[in-house]
Every structure is written in structure tokens, then in C-alpha cells.
Chains A and B, each alone.
Chain A
Amino acid sequence: MRIGTEEVRRVALLAHLALTPEEEKDLIGHFEKVLAYMEKLNQLDTGGVEPTAHAVVGHASLREDRVTNQADTTALLQNAPASESDFFKVPHVID
């Protein structure tokens, strides 16, 4: 399974990761090795097998859509890298 630089860059774009050329090279090698290992799953015939998304036995519990906690804006802004009054501040979004 040949993964090229272009493929790694496509995935890095989706993952929002800025990679150095060194990291790109390492990842190509890593992907090749790991994906080759994963080829082993193709030895199995999974026709008619239902996928398991969760190993939970029992139903997913639902609740009423009611707010039960207090919104503490001060506490929530405390870890903000940058903020202004009640807002998180970010670099410009639109050029």
C-alpha cells in the first residue's frame, strides 16, 4: 500500500496538523508499515456480519432536554488563551 506525500498532505489538511518535511517522511513510513499490518483483516470474510460501534449491553438512556446546570461564564473563560468581555478572542477568520 503505497502512501505518497500527496496523500499524507491530504490527511494532514483534514486533521488540521501542520507537518514538517521530516514528519511527513516519518508518517509515510509509519503509514506503510501499519497499513500493511492491517491488511491482515482482509483475510477474514465479514459478509453478513453486523458492525459493532459500541460494546454497551443495554439501551442508550435518554433524558428530557432540560437545562440543569448554571452557566458560569467566568469559570468557562478562565482557560481561554485570549478573551474579551464574554467572548473568546481568535485571529481573523475572514481575509
Chain B
Amino acid sequence: MDLYRLTIHEATTLLRKREISARELTQAVLSRIEATNAHTHSYITTCDHSASLQAAAADRRLATQDPLSPLCGIPIALKDVILTRGLRSTAGSKMLAEFTPPYDATVTRLLKEAGAIIIGKVNCDEFAMGSSNENSAFSPSRNPWDFSRVPGGSSGGSAAAVAADQALAALGTDTGGSIRLPASFCGVVGLKPTYGRVSRFGVVAFASSLDQIGPVAKDTQDCALLLQVIAGHDPYDSTAVNLPVPDYHATLKSGVRKLKMGIPKEYFVEGMQPEVESAVNRAITQLEALGAQPVDISLPHTEYAIATYYIIATAEASSNLARYDGVRYGYRAPQSDGLRAMYDLTRAQGFGPEVKRRIMLGTYVLSAGYYDAYYLKAQKVRTLIRQDFLTAFESCDVIATPVAPTTAFRVGEKTADPLTMYLSDIFTIAVNLAGLPGLSLPCGFDASGMPIGLQLIGKPFAEDILLQAAHAYEQATPWHTNKPPL
């Protein structure tokens, strides 16, 4: 049995029964990475030595401790925007290529406390800015289903690693779709929690009112297990809400009978790849067969979401990335003539082109004379977008949509025009603006064998309902058992 193929819940059972050890499991995953990472470039840093130490510690806990977290002894990959103490964290950027954090992110700490094994740091678009992983300063990741195609972004490495069995699961981040899109392109499960459900402390900030950390997993049960560990209040993040975390496992198998499923007409429009549209429609029909009740709804401000997002997110990014100035950490341009020149050259040399474009746009929309026309206007449209969802949720419990208009595109296909790239986010972006939870799970393949994703959107803090609906669909379909041929 190839241990790297296991899900978290399968591995936990075998670990508890002492049929396998954490050491064996970890070694299997490390060997898998060594054999396949050259094709997928999922990992920026792997932790061969420290993973062995962590595995030994996990085995000691497994032998003596009770109760144990289901994550004890499980190798997990972390997107490289999530800080890990003593372990290089680059955010996919030259700016932080040699940065070693002196502290752990809260989510890192929670995983370690549960006994999970941090197996490595996975690839991403620079500072989480991108939809294809092509903006990484480190050999962009490739889709394990077809190496000539992108894995999606910005959590491309997270999704590729899980799809390729190079980790049992991973954490990613999602600001405009960056967990859900790669999960859809790579045929795995990805969840963006409600804004405020998971602490952002120690995660490199892109857009502070939109960023969320979430699980990328092989199935919905694993997704629930991971969310259980990372969700919750944190005194280090004043936006992490102090609300109890439900037992996601307890309701996972509750099914979808009588669940009202909103189908928004604005998400089924021209320009979608026909196979994507039909796969998503078949999934909706399947959910109906399982007992869900489709309800037609409208989200009238959908077409304004991308413009709104790219004003707000870039504005927040321009502020968050102002700290990268070469003074205290990160890259510093050599031989600058004075402080000002050091700032300007450090940032010119340390940041890639897309990051610079976004900083420039964000700075512009916040600058004197333009703030009202752009940033304030976008904030008001954001209210309208959020209201659309809250109104829709008066007549349904969950909303079903496609994740992306297409399956994974080829490397280089959309890089000529950044705006074309931005349009891939069309179905995911409004969810971040509204602060709602969203989940992507596999619902089929296109004629080229590329995965298609179904998105489920929930009410605030209703991740339990999302997981329950997703689980019902998953268990009635074969998609979660498919693996890429590598």
C-alpha cells in the first residue's frame, strides 16, 4: 500500500491501531515528493530532517497519549505565506527569499499542538496575488493532471501537492478565490471559511478585509478535520471572531434532505466552457436527487464584483506591502545612494511585475483626488454585493455555482493580459467581498481529463452546512477517488 495515497482519516485509523507509524507515513510522503516534485514544483521548501524529528515525536505521543487529535502524525503542507518559526517562508517572492520567521502563525502553532507534521512549504503566486501560480518567483507549480497546465492560484502549490499525494492535506489562503480555484483545477476539496473564522496572525497579509486561511484536502471528511483544528478565536487577531466552533464531524453525514439550494442565474452565463456548465448542472441535479430543493435566486450585483474587488484588494495590498522596505528583514537592494533610493530600488527589485501593478493601482485609488471615486465607491458596491447574498439566504440555505468559467488553462495562456487573468475569479470573488464561507469540490472532468469544481456558498459561520452538503454529494459520486496519473 502506498501510504502517501491515504487520506487523513484513513491514516489516523492505521496510526491509532499502530499498523503504521508516523515515521513510515512521513517517509513515504517525503519519498513521493522527491520522486514527483520536479514535475509539479509544488514545494518551495521541504523539511526532510525536521519532519523526521516531528514524526518521532508524534510516534511517542501515539504510543502514550489519550485523547489525541486526529491530526497527530499526519504530514501537512503549508502555503508559503503562512509563517513557520525557524523555517524559511518566502510568500513566493524574491522579497522574502531568505526570510526565516522568528515565530509561528497561529494556524501553524495549532497544527503543531495537534501533533501534525509540517512536511514543507508549498508554492504560491507572489504575496498570494494571482490565479495561476505563474506569478511565483520560484518555478511556478504545474497541474498534476497535465504538467502543461496551471494548477490555479494563488494556492497552486497547496492544491497540486494534495492532488499529487505529496502531502495528506495542506493549508492555503483565499482572498478572491485562491483556495477554491486551484482546488477546482486540481480536483481536490478546498474551503474558504467565513471571514473571522480562522486567525490570520502570522500569515503574510495581502488584503486584510478579504484574506482567510483554509484547508485543501483529498475529501470532505479531511477538510472538516483540518477546519476543526484551525478554526477559533485568537487574541492575536482582533478580526478572529469569538464564536464557538461547531463539531463539524458530528453533522458531516446529515445529508441534504430539505436543504434549500439557491441557484443564482447570474452565475450561469455565456462564455463558460460548456463542459463546466453541464457538469455543474449535473451536480445540482444529483443534489436534488439526494433531497436538496433547488430555488431560483438572483444576485443582481454579480457583474460588479471584479471591479469592486480589484479596487479594494489592491488598495489594501498597497498598504500591507508598504512594510517591505529593506530595513528590518527581507531583500535589500545593494549599494543604494541614501535611504530613499534604498526603498525604491529594494521594492523595484524585490517585487515581481504583478505585485508592482497591484501596488500601483492600489496606491492610485487611495490617493488624494481619487479616493472617493474609486475606493469609497467600491466600498459602497461591496455593501450592495453583501446585501444580495443576505437577501438570497432568506430563501435558501446554501448556494450552488461553478467555481470557474473554465478548467485549468495552459501555462502562458493568460499572462499577456492581466485583466483576462482577473476574469477567472468571476465566480469566487463576491464570496470574499461578502465575507461568506465557500467550498469547492470535484464534480467531474472535461474531455481533456481536467477536473471541474462545484462551489457551495454558505451563510456566515455555516461551514457545517457546507461540509454536510458537500459530503452528501461526494459520497454519491466517484470524483474523489480519481487520481492524476503521475
> Using a CB–CB distance below 8 Å, which chain A residues touch chain B?
7-8, 10-12, 14-19, 23, 26-27, 30-31, 33-34, 37-38, 40-44, 46, 49-58, 60-63, 72, 75-76, 78-82, 88, 90-93, 95
Picked from B209, B304, B363, B384, the residue with its CB within 8 Å of the CB of A53 is: B209
Neighbour of B348 across the interface among A14, A19, A43, CB < 8 A: A19
| Nearest chain B CB to A60 CB, angstrom units | 6
Cβ–Cβ contact A90 & B360, under 8 A: no
**Does B471 reach chain A (CB closer than 8 Å)?**
no
What are some 28 contacts across the A-B interface (CB < 8 A)?
A11-B364, A16-B343, A17-B344, A17-B347, A17-B356, A18-B345, A18-B348, A30-B357, A38-B310, A40-B303, A41-B378, A42-B377, A46-B381, A49-B380, A51-B379, A51-B380, A51-B382, A52-B382, A52-B386, A54-B195, A54-B239, A54-B435, A58-B241, A80-B328, A81-B326, A81-B329, A88-B328, A93-B338
Q: Are B348 and A50 in contact (CB under 8 A)?
A: no
Query: Does B332 sit at the interface, judged by CB under 8 A?
Result: yes
Task: For the complex, give the distance between the alpha carbons of A71 and B308 in Å.
Answer: 40
Contact indicator B196/A40 (Cβ below 8 Å): no
A80 x B310 contact (CB < 8 A): no
B51 at the interface (CB under 8 A from A): no
CA of A53 to CA of B319 in the docked complex: distance in angstroms?
14
Q: Among the listed B242, B338, B367, B433, which residue makes an inter-chain contact with A11, where contact means beta carbons less than 8 Å apart?
A: B367
* Chain A contacts for B339, CB-based, 8 A: 90-93
Q: How large is the interface on B (under 10, 10 to 19, 20 to 34, 35 or more residues)?
A: 35 or more
Q: How far is the CB of B315 from chain A (nearest CB, A)?
A: 11
Which residues of chain B from 428 to 475 have any CB-CB distance to chain A below 8 Å in the complex?
A: 433-436, 460-461
In the assembled complex, which residues on chain B have CB atoms less than 8 Å from the CB atom of A43? Answer: 304
Cα–Cα distance between A81 and B96 once the two chains are bound (Å):
11
Please give the distance in Å from B374's CB to the nearest CB on chain A. 7
B330 CB contacts on chain A under 8 angstroms: 79, 81
- Report whether B327 and A88 are in contact in the complex, using a CB–CB cutoff of 8 Å: yes
A27: which of B341, B347, B360 is its contact (CB, 8 Å)? B360
Chain A residues within an 8 Å CB radius of B374: 38
Look across to chain A and name the residue whose beta carbon is closest to the beta carbon of B325.
Answer: A16
Q: Digit string of B355-380 for contact with A (CB within 8 Å is 1, else 0)?
A: 01101110110010000001011111
Please report whether the interface of chain A is mostly helix, strand, loop or mixed according to DSSP.
loop
Closest to B435 in A: A55
Check if B460 sits within 8 Å of A57, measured CB to CB: yes
The reply to whether A58 and B196 form a contact with Cβ atoms under 8 Å apart is yes
B357 and A27 contact, CB distance less than 8 A: yes
- Interchain nearest-CB distance for A68 vs B (Å): 9
How many Å from the CB of A75 to the closest CB on chain B?
Answer: 4
| Among B308, B351, B357, B367, contact of A14 (Cβ-Cβ < 8 Å) | B367
Within 8 Å CB of B307, what residues of A? 37-38, 40-41
Closest chain A CB from B318 CB (angstroms): 6
Kindly state whether residue B147 has any CB partner on chain A within 8 Å. no
* Partner of B386 from A11, A41, A55, A82 at Cβ < 8 Å: A55
* Contact, CB under 8 Å: A57 / B363: no
By beta carbon, the residue of chain B nearest A74 is B102
**Is there contact, CB below 8 Å, between B329 and A80?**
yes
Tell yes or no: B19 within 8 A of A by CB: no
CA distance A24 to B123 in the complex (A): 29
B195: chain A residues at CB < 8 Å are: 54-56
The digit string for B176-197, where 1 denotes a CB below 8 A from any CB of A, is 0000000000000000001110
Pairwise interchain contact A91-B336, C-beta atoms closer than 8 A:
yes
Are A11 and B379 in contact (CB-based, < 8 A)? no
CB-based closest 5 A-B pairs = A55-B435, A51-B379, A79-B329, A81-B332, A46-B380
B419 touches A (CB below 8 Å):
yes
Which residues from chain B contact A81 at a C-beta distance below 8 Å? 326-327, 329-332
CB atoms of A44 and B384 under 8 A apart: yes
Is residue B163 within 8 Å, beta carbon to beta carbon, of the partner chain? no
- Which of A15, A53, A90, A95: most chain B Cβ within 10 A? A15
| B395-450 contacts to A (CB < 8 Å) | 417-419, 433-436
Q: Determine whether the beta carbon of B318 is less than 8 Å from that of A15.
A: yes
How far, in Å, is A30 (CB) from chain B's closest CB?
A: 6
* A43 to B307 alpha-carbon distance, docked (Å): 12
| A49:B383 contact, CB within 8 angstroms | yes
B108 to A: closest C-beta gap in Å: 16
Q: How many angstroms from the CA of A12 to the CA of B332 in the assembled complex?
A: 18
Within 8 Å CB of A42, what residues of B? 377
The interface residues of chain A lying within 8 Å CB-to-CB of B345 are 18
Of A11, A52, A54, A58, the residue contacting B243 (CB under 8 A) is A58
Residues in B neighbouring A10, C-beta threshold 8 A:
367
CA distance A74 to B308 in the complex (A): 43
Contacting residue for B337 out of A61, A78, A91, CB 8 A: A91
Q: How far is the CB of A56 from chain B (nearest CB, A)?
A: 5
In the bound complex, how far is the Cα of B195 from the Cα of A56, in angstroms? 6
In whole angstroms, what is the CA distance A27 to B421 when docked? Answer: 16
CB-defined contacts of B361 to chain A, threshold 8 Å: 30-31, 34
When the two chains form their complex, are residues A41 and B308 in contact, meaning their CB atoms are under 8 A apart?
yes
Q: Is B485 an interface residue (CB 8 A)?
A: no
Distance in Å: Cβ of A22 to nearest Cβ of chain B: 10
- CB of B386 within 8 A of CB of A79, answer no
